[in-house]
Amino acid sequence: MESKSGTRDLADLNLALSKLRENEIKYRTLFDNANDAIFLTEDGVLLDCNRKFCIMFACSKEQAIGQTPDTFSPLVQPDGRRSSDKAVEIGKTTFPGEPQFFEWRYRRYDGSLFDAAVTLNRIDIDSDKPVLLTIIRDISEQKEVENKLRISEEKYRGIFENAIEGIFQTTPEGKVITANTTFASMYGYGSPQEMIETVTDIGKEVYVNPEDRARFKKMCEEQGSVEGFEEQVYRKDRGKAWVSLNARAVRDENGNTLYYEGTIEDITQRKEMEDALRRSEERYRTFIDTTSDGVFLKDHQLRYAIVNKMFRRFFNKTEDEIIGKTDFDWRSKKDAEGARRIDLKSLRTSSISITEEVVNNRIYEIRTFAVNLGETSKGIGGFVRDITERK
């Protein structure tokens, strides 16, 4: 007859076995329903794997069990090292009990590749035979996004650095926070970093007229942006240059200005040409206004483009009464028709036509000739001389 203590021991054993089975079912359920692929290896051979592993590697459990991890890795990793060599190196670090976290390129059962984030750890199920637990998370989509982002950044960085125009960001206080190479070179700096580290107040250190900086900021604050804002600036060597800005104010959610950003163009050559042209025009205007003959120029539509002071005096007209108008707009019909005939003859024959006209009881000799206004355009130029006394 069985003793009471034996019956109690048997009951305790059955309870322990029941709890063990419950725990095994619980952990098997967690194992099989994990979102990450999990597998166990012992002596370099795959002992077990979960359902996610089979999905991730496109294989059945029977095809996976008994294989080595090399079966699921390409020959070479993205860094150019052999997968087997890297695996041995990682394993040596893991076996002493130090968990490993790394990225790995795997090969599915059909040969296709994917990138994964891996956690590798040692677990001691049997002290004589340590088991490696590997958890794999597919990061292919993440890597693809990162790669696209990298390509995009490289593309726009290339555009930023190689743009013909200077690109910049400056704080309201005048600190340069972003600049491309073109922007820095416009100001004579060897690199954007040199300018960023050197210039602390662009209004005082770069602007020839600091009030231009104040005017620029005021326009950005009131209008939100500026276009074609011209200003004279100092280069690093204190030489002067002219630039043109297109910029906008970048604000936070409360409307406070964080910085100004935009593009800049060096217009020094254009300004020098404009200045040279202005001086040339002034010299030309002085010359034709001091000559004793009347001087005029008509465009391709026979509208007056230039008349000097003596010409206006001969005909007793102001500049506004003549410039932009044809002879028909301010002369008698008879005189205008005569002038038109002579103009057309000069354009047709490219010869000088000499005629005489009486205006306000004075006799004038008019020399008319064709003038090239461009590659495909011609106008009429001429001189008017008072010959009353000679006559």
Say which amino acid occupies 219. M
Question: Is 0.75 topped by the overall pTM?
Answer: no
pLDDT, position 299: 93
> Would the pLDDT of 13 be above 60?
no
Higher pLDDT among residues 15 and 214, named by residue: 214
- Tokens encoding 147: 């790669």
pLDDT higher than 50, residue 1:
no
Higher-confidence residue of 303 and 91: namely 303
Tell whether the model's pLDDT for residue 86 goes beyond 60: yes
Q: Where are the extended beta strands (E) located within 152-299?
A: 166-170, 176-179, 225-234, 240-251, 257-266, 294-298
* Closest listed residue to residue 138, CA positions, set 164, 169, 112: 112
> Count of CB atoms within 10 A of residue 249's CB?
22
**pLDDT tens-place string over residues 123-182:** 876 656 788 889 999 998 888 888 888 887 777 777 777 778 899 999 999 999 999 999
Confidence at residue 277, expressed as pLDDT on a 0 to 100 scale: 80
The pLDDT assigned to 4 comes to 56
Please report, rounded to a whole number, the percentage of residues in the chain having pLDDT higher than 90: 58
- Grade residue 100 by pLDDT with cuts at 50, 70 and 90: confident
Give every CB contact of residue 44 below 8 A, 6+ residues apart in sequence.
68, 69
Name the token pair of 177: 């926070």
Report pLDDT for 198: 93
- Quote the CA–CA distance of 27 and 32 in Å, as a whole number: 8
Residue type, 300: H
pLDDT at 19 over 80: no
Choose from 1-10, 148-157, 257-266 the range with maximum mean pLDDT.
257-266
Kindly list the distances between the CA atom of residue 389 and the CA atoms of 20, 354, 359, in Å, as whole numbers in the listed order: 136, 18, 14
Q: Who's near 330: CB < 8 A, 6+ residues apart?
A: 317, 321, 322
- Given a cut of 60, whether residue 55 has pLDDT beyond it is yes
Confidence of residue 17 (pLDDT cuts 50, 70, 90): low
